[in-house]
Structure 1
Amino acid sequence: MSNGTPSSRTLNDLDRKIVAALQLDGRASWATIAELSGTTGPTAARRVQQLTQDGAVTVAVMKGVGADRLHEFHSLRLQCGPGMAIKVAAKVAERADIRFVALITGQYDVMAEAQIPRQAEAYHSLVREIQMIPGVETVSGELTLHVYKVSHDWARELLGLAPAGSEPVSEEHEAAHFDEVDEAIFQRLTVDARVGFSEMAEAVGLNESTVRRRFERLVSRRWLHVATLVQAAALGFESEVQLRIDVEPARLTEVAHELGRRPQVRYLALPLGANGLVAEVIARRTEDLYSFITAELAELPGVMGWTASLELLTLKRGFVVTPWWRAEVAHIEAGAEPEEPAATR
């Protein structure tokens, strides 16, 4: 149940460990990354530089899903005409208000998530614009009422580390807390997520210690995330799955908290319009996914059933366009086997 795309990059063991270490903290020093991955600082820096140039990995900064109370999230599921799914997904990903886009299996062809203003006509305007994209046949959407979990360090096991505990999304965000200085820091980080604090301070016109404190506050409150994006298959994870889980209404919160503790659950939210949860699950092997479904999900009190879709290709995550999707599509369309990435040679 892997994504099955011919051009999925497979990194060697050292590269996988380096990327997993970078997932823990995308701004960690090369010495720290080297210690975690069992190599030297120069080697870690050189490998990451090569992987970035290859388009296999990107370190990016993204705002937390609750960092802006002036907007709300809506999930979108699109049915497309024959052979049009990737073209539709690409057009959707171009939009600045789209946080996530992926090709999926099942009833729908494309899944997306949009952040839109809290205005009466905003959702209807979004849907009308999406429906006008050539190749779109139907659009189904729903408001996201609450996000329970967003996780970016899903490859900890490659470093021999225990799974991270659940980190529920903070509900304390207020738009006023993300002020002009915070926005300036964020904008500088979008250019280079690993930029030094001295350069960051120069860019925003403040001293280094103030910028450092500001950044640490944003990260500690999960208003900002420095995330390392990489294909799951490149790190040896076979399955990325979207689950819609039917839950007894009275046990929604209980089930959500239990699922949030599972390391396999990368994203967990409550949508409007169904008695259930939406979860993104990642598994190292198909057997691990089977175990999660049968021994964990099926045994949770309150879970009544579920439907699943495989994620075939992710074009955008956290408002960041993935650097590898165009190469994936090119290889699929050409029917060619991928050239081995330089970093693995």
Structure 2
Amino acid sequence: MDSDAAWPSTGALDQLDRRIMHALQVDGRAPFARIGEVLGVSDQTVARRYARLRAAGALRVLGLVDPLHIGLTAWLVRVRCTPDAAASVGEALARRTDTRWVSLISGGTEISCIVQGAAPGQDDTLLLQQLPRTPRVVQVTAHALLHIFFGRDLSPLTRTGPLGPTETAALIPPDAPARRPSETAEDPVRLSRDDQRLLDALAVDGRTSAAELATATGWSQTTVRRRLSELRSSGALYYDLDFDHGSLLGHLRASLWLEVEPARLAEVGAALAEHEQVAFAGAITGTANLYASVVCRDAGALYRYLTGPIAALAGIRRLETAPIHRTLKGAGPRHVTGRTHPSA
């Protein structure tokens, strides 16, 4: 998992592999028996295929927390460095526990990442103190993430995967929240220390068994299952896949920073959420008030996207495109170098 070479090529993933991956994108904790029933194969076949993909580093299920549902602010941070420093500063950011989606952008001279803000009343030392004083860091800009139009448990695989609507509907768990854009919850979920131990285990492996989670938390398995259902239905907990998007969706990735007329922000964000190239789209603070990460097959495809679907959207005043050179860390807590999935 430490290099792009560790990922299977497109040819290594057959149709059943892709169908299993799509099923897990719909419900990361779906029992293998339910997946097998929907896909028309045995649960042993699903389990064997999943184990092979996971062992090869091609697939990992993550149980993640949505900061907007637990009363925290997520920050989209851009760090501009001297040309010789971006890689080392990016690696240092990737090693932190409060960062996600750390990428080198703009030809490798700039870093973008998501930082989960501190709890109310606590100092945000990364944003306010450490980064601006880091040697060879030229500029730091931070944008609060206000609203998610597309992301969390939805990915391009949700749109382009091989499962049909009936199969997808059969996999949606009963405790899944309504499919709606993510925004700051009016009544945030309060997490206990026991909850945090549960969530720490899920962030490493979203399919950690109830027995193992019971050991980690000191709860009974019944309590574990009940709390998982509560956190999921509230929107605080969701499941996502960590996989090589490049092998399935395209190898050219880019960040889009859009300045949109405020009256059309929701309209443009909703439109981006429908574009098959978009891996993430969210409203942010700042002059550029809408951010998106996109995945395209090649430079020509990106050009056609920018001059076609993007150009057709009314209300965009300005657009900045920053190619993603390399992703140092994805959605999970682990520091993984050289991955090719899209960055938020």
The TM tier, using the shorter chain, reads 0.7 to 0.9
Structure 2 CA distance for aligned equivalents of residues 262 and 167 of structure 1: 16
Choose which of 155, 160, 164 in structure 2 pairs with 1:161: 164
Matching of residues 219-298 of structure 1 within 5 Å: 219-283=232-296, 289-298=302-311
Unaligned runs of 5+ in 2: 170-177
| Counterpart residue identity of residue 109, structure 1 | E
Q: Does 1:212 align with 2:225?
A: yes
Q: Deviations over 1:229-249 (max 9, x none)?
A: 012112242333211112112
Query: How far apart, CA to CA, are the structure 1 residues paired with 2:338 and 2:252?
Result: 20
| TM-score (norm: length of structure 1) | 0.78
Give the direction of change, closer, same or farther, for the CA distance of 1:225–1:119 in structure 2 (3 Å limit). Answer: closer
Mapped contact 1:75–1:142 kept (Cα < 8 A): yes
Partner SS state of residue 320, structure 1:
coil
Counterpart of 1:44?
A: 46
> Contact 1:37–1:159 at 8 Å: present in 2 too?
no
| Deviation (angstroms), 1:80 | 2.7
Percent identity over the alignment is: 27
Structure 1 gaps of 5+ residues are 329-345
Q: 1:159 Cα deviation (Å)?
A: 1.4
Task: Give the CA deviation at 1:188.
Answer: 3.5
SS of the aligned residue for 1:200 comes to helix
The 5 Å alignment of 1:131-150 reads 131-133=132-134, 135-150=136-151
SS at match of 1:240: strand
Instruction: Please state how far the C-alpha of 1:114 moved relative to its aligned partner.
Output: 1.2
Contact 1:150/1:167 (8 A) holds in 2: no
Count residues with an aligned counterpart: 322
Give the Cα–Cα distance (whole angstroms) in 1 for the partners of residues 79 and 259 of structure 2.
21
Q: Which residue of 1 aligns with 2:106?
A: 105
Which residue is equivalent to 1:337?
none
Q: What secondary structure sits across from 1:227 in the alignment?
A: strand
Bigger CA drift: 60-69 or 208-217? 208-217
What are the Cα deviations for residues 104-142 of structure 1, in whole angstroms up to 9, with x where unaligned?
A: 125952111212226689457535312454553332333
Q: Within 5 Å, which residues of 2 pair with 1:10-21? A: 10-11=9-10, 12-14=12-14, 15-21=17-23
Distance 1:226 1:51 in 2: 17
Tell me how large the CA RMSD over aligned residues is: 3.4
Deviates more, 1:126-135 or 1:272-281: 126-135
**What's the counterpart of residue 343 of structure 1?**
none
Counterpart of 1:161, as a letter, is G
Deviation at 1:274, TM superposition (A): 0.6
Output the CA distance in 2 between the equivalents of 1:124 and 1:301: 39
Structure 1 CA distance for aligned equivalents of residues 37 and 200 of structure 2: 30
Match of 2:172 in 1: none
Q: CA deviation at 1:217?
A: 2.4
In structure 2, the residue matched to 1:27 is: 29
Question: Are the aligned partners of 1:65 and 1:147 in contact in 2 as well (CA < 8 Å)?
Answer: no
Match of 2:195 in 1: 182
Contact 2:105 2:322 in 1 (8 A): yes
For the 8 Å contact 1:104–1:111, the answer to whether it is kept is: yes
1:335 equivalent in structure 2: none
**What CA deviation, in whole Å up to 9, does each residue of 1:132-158 have, x standing for no partner?**
545533323333343343244321423
Q: TM-score, normalised by structure 2?
A: 0.78
- 2:317 matches 1:304: yes
- Once the two structures are TM-superposed, the CA of residue 280 in structure 1 deviates from its matched residue by 1.6
Write out aligned runs for 1:189-200 (5 A): 189-200=202-213
Kindly indicate whether the alpha-carbon contact (under 8 Å) linking 1:247 and 1:304 is maintained by their aligned counterparts in 2: yes
Alignment match of 2:326 (pick from 308, 313, 329):
313
